[in-house]
Amino acid sequence: MHLDHDPAAAAAETIGFDEFLKVDIRVGTILRAEPYPEARKPSLKLEIDFGPAIGRKKSSAQIAALYAPDSIVGRQVAAVVNFPPRQIGKFMSEVLTLGFADGEGRVVLFSPDAPVPNGSRLF
């Protein structure tokens, strides 16, 4: 799967609302973050709490260019929680933490602008 980070790229093909609902995007709070120097791109290993229904999940996120591990603990982020786990080097990433590329291609985390309960679903 290729994701286009070009802000000038054309919109993706039209999908139905039912297809959108298949992607389970939830908010969680980062409990732990540590460097992941073995990754090909500057990354952090995250442990995120998605509340009682989803639980704690691990994610490898390419966010080390903009975020220090200690600066994001306690921050809420959005992630896709229903993709199959993916092996990233020696680390098993269980969720896809979401972000947008800035003008230099660095990943900026996507998060709510006010606190919401962990596990809240995007709609």
pLDDT in tens, 77-88: 999 999 999 999
CATH number, domain with residue 25: 2.40.50.140
Any domain includes 73: yes
Any domain includes 82: yes
Tokens of 97: 């933490």
Segment 102-111 shows an average pLDDT of 95
Any domain includes 115: no
Report the distance separating Cα 56 and Cα 15, nearest Å: 30
Task: Show the domain range for 24.
Answer: 17-109
Any domain includes 11: no
Any domain includes 123: no
Any domain includes 116: no
pLDDT at 1 over 70: no
Any domain includes 59: yes
pLDDT in tens, 57-81: 999 999 999 999 999 999 999 999 9
pTM: 0.90
Any domain includes 96: yes
Residues 59-85 as b/e (b if ≥16 CB within 10 A, e otherwise) read: bbbbbbebbebeebeeebbbbebeeee
pLDDT band for position 4 (50/70/90)? Answer: low
State how many domains the chain has. 1
